[in-house]
Chains A and B, each alone.
Chain A
């Protein structure tokens, strides 16, 4: 998958889950700077990502999906 494409799709999903504009999501977005990123939103994020990218995020990785960079890395790994 092309880099930009993945970036855009990820931003799209995150913006839907966190109820912000896609432009507000960037490389540095994380649980620390996105308001309302709680356990409920984390659940919504995992469900949405698995659906959007057709992957199953491993159990041990789910708890680490707390910032844009890590999520992107994990997805890249899964999509290889």
Chain B
């Protein structure tokens, strides 16, 4: 992907989306514990550009495991589980974590990863981003326990990789643009985004050949010119002994390296062909018997060596191979030929042999990395199998078989406070910025919350949540009005950070108990729809409230406290400070 501004991507996406709308949608979802909205736009842009009707969606923030249970209809899933997001919850410097804390994190994570991988095993393409320690500025001269943790987690991914899964080494993208350019700690602080748009672009470049392949837009063949492309010199003039592609010569070695890559490609299903203006028998003689050729007859599937124009020859080649012209990459040293093809066959991707011949292997490799996805070899897969057997022997790793046992392992604790003075500011903030899990979406200022605190009939309940990973802080708020023996829940909201753990049900259990203790018999509330709060449209129904009125999407509810059935969730410890 070329260097392009984000605003241009957004503008182009609007236009491109319309152009591809008649195509069948390709459903790709990003599951992550950091905000990935910008990355989603960048990937959609790349796919639209290839004519793919990309439907890119984002999972709920930090709900990777939960969302991995519902992936029906998705063709591709990218999992980005960021160590910075995980360890950032601990109020302790990463190098100061005890080995016990690290082990706890590792056990829980590998347990989660196992479930995620199993849940995604039916998705055609899964891209699992590697774990990285690059976000921490730890001096590389000393041992770094986060880096070691990342290494062990990556080994776990490798050992448990399923055939639909590709591991994307994000450290490669970080190295390629530099650590300073990769992270945005300001936006992390404000929006839980961690990576810069530069990183997103580089990352997209990295995974793009795989996306091209799985969307059916990958290249299939590399077609080489011969003179000054496979070897230095002109066969018709310099003769059999005059051309140079020797591994041992100064200039020839660069051609030899390109030939070696072509051989490797041919072993991995890429079609290699020749398109050259030469006498066919001369070229054949070189292929048959020149000792410096890495590329042999057996590697070449198609050959148009003649004096016809190259556009006709490439058309011929595409027809012979029964592939589209857009599946071809053409490599030639001549500006004339390259321009001719660009003009006449714009679908063909061209690579011109660079003037500085020492850059030729690098340019060729870059082209390969851009357009061809070579999946792991059989040997790699066998290695994976060995890893797997080894892992099975290693029983110390925990395995979770279902969501409940996983949630149990987290040791989630919920603490509720009533009208707590120290929480006024944060309660107001949470009402201001929470959109998704927000039943009525009333916004309160600090002074309004302060008023509630000082009033008789009104109360605010604040919930803080912690688990073995750390403390999520204030994450839930309920605003209550009591009138005789009827209570009204004016507002009920939770930060999306802790969604998907059934914490809301436990909070409701505690709220109902509390209101019962206060002498209430009945609870009323409402769900007021907004553009964002659809996920909780049925929350009160799930809690056993009855709809008493429905108007323009707004549902009014009532519950007789004696009819309430507690959720029965035992894996969350709750405490109400009265």
How many A-B contacts at CB < 8 Å in the complex?
50
Does B38 contact A43, Cβ atoms closer than 8 Å?
Answer: yes
Encode contact with A along B1-30: 1 for CB under 8 Å, 0 otherwise: 000011110110010000000000000000
Q: Determine how close the nearest CB of chain B comes to the CB of A40; give it in whole angstroms.
A: 5
Q: Determine how close the nearest CB of chain B comes to the CB of A9; give it in whole angstroms.
A: 10
Pick the contact of A48 from B10, B14, B191, B532 — CB < 8 Å?
B10
**Known contacts A39-B433, A39-B435; A59/B7 CB under 8 A:** no
Does B37 contact A43, Cβ atoms closer than 8 Å?
Answer: yes
Across the interface, name the chain A residue whose C-beta is closest to B38: A47
Pick the contact of A51 from B5, B191, B435 — CB < 8 Å?
B5
**Known contacts A43-B37, A47-B38; A17/B5 CB under 8 A:** no
What is the interface of chain B mostly: helix, strand, loop, or mixed?
A: helix
Does B186 contact A59, Cβ atoms closer than 8 Å?
Answer: yes
**Known contacts A43-B38, A43-B193; A48/B186 CB under 8 A:** no
Does A44 contact B8, Cβ atoms closer than 8 Å?
Answer: no
User: Within 8 Å CB of A43, what residues of B?
Assistant: 35, 37-38, 187, 191, 193
Q: Determine how close the nearest CB of chain A comes to the CB of B381; give it in whole angstroms.
A: 39
Does A13 contact B7, Cβ atoms closer than 8 Å?
Answer: yes
* A63 in the interface (beta carbon within 8 A): yes
Does A44 contact B532, Cβ atoms closer than 8 Å?
Answer: no
* A62 in the interface (beta carbon within 8 A): yes
Does B186 contact A51, Cβ atoms closer than 8 Å?
Answer: no
Does A44 contact B37, Cβ atoms closer than 8 Å?
Answer: yes
User: Within 8 Å CB of A47, what residues of B?
Assistant: 6, 38, 187, 197
* A55 in the interface (beta carbon within 8 A): no
* A2 in the interface (beta carbon within 8 A): no
* B379 in the interface (beta carbon within 8 A): no
C-alpha spacing A36/B8, complex, angstroms: 19
Across the interface, name the chain B residue whose C-beta is closest to A17: B10
User: Within 8 Å CB of A48, what residues of B?
Assistant: 5-7, 10
* B190 in the interface (beta carbon within 8 A): yes
Does B186 contact A56, Cβ atoms closer than 8 Å?
Answer: yes
Does B14 contact A19, Cβ atoms closer than 8 Å?
Answer: yes
* B70 in the interface (beta carbon within 8 A): no
C-alpha spacing A44/B37, complex, angstroms: 8
Q: Determine how close the nearest CB of chain A comes to the CB of B547; give it in whole angstroms.
A: 28
Q: Determine how close the nearest CB of chain A comes to the CB of B201; give it in whole angstroms.
A: 11
Q: Determine how close the nearest CB of chain A comes to the CB of B443; give it in whole angstroms.
A: 13
Does A52 contact B5, Cβ atoms closer than 8 Å?
Answer: yes
Does A38 contact B10, Cβ atoms closer than 8 Å?
Answer: no
Q: Which of A16-65 contact B (CB under 8 A)?
A: 16-17, 19, 36, 38-40, 43-44, 46-48, 51-52, 56, 59, 62-63
User: Within 8 Å CB of A59, what residues of B?
Assistant: 186, 189-190
Q: Determine how close the nearest CB of chain A comes to the CB of B430; give it in whole angstroms.
A: 13
C-alpha spacing A39/B10, complex, angstroms: 16
User: Within 8 Å CB of B187, what residues of A?
Assistant: 43, 46-47
3 closest Cβ pairs, A-B complex = A16-B7, A48-B7, A16-B11
6 extra A-B contacts, CB within 8 A, seeds A17-B10, A43-B35, A43-B187: A12-B7, A39-B435, A46-B187, A48-B7, A48-B10, A62-B190
16 pairs, A vs B, C-beta closer than 8 Å: A12-B7, A16-B11, A19-B10, A36-B531, A40-B37, A43-B37, A43-B187, A44-B6, A44-B10, A47-B38, A48-B6, A51-B5, A51-B6, A56-B186, A59-B190, A62-B190
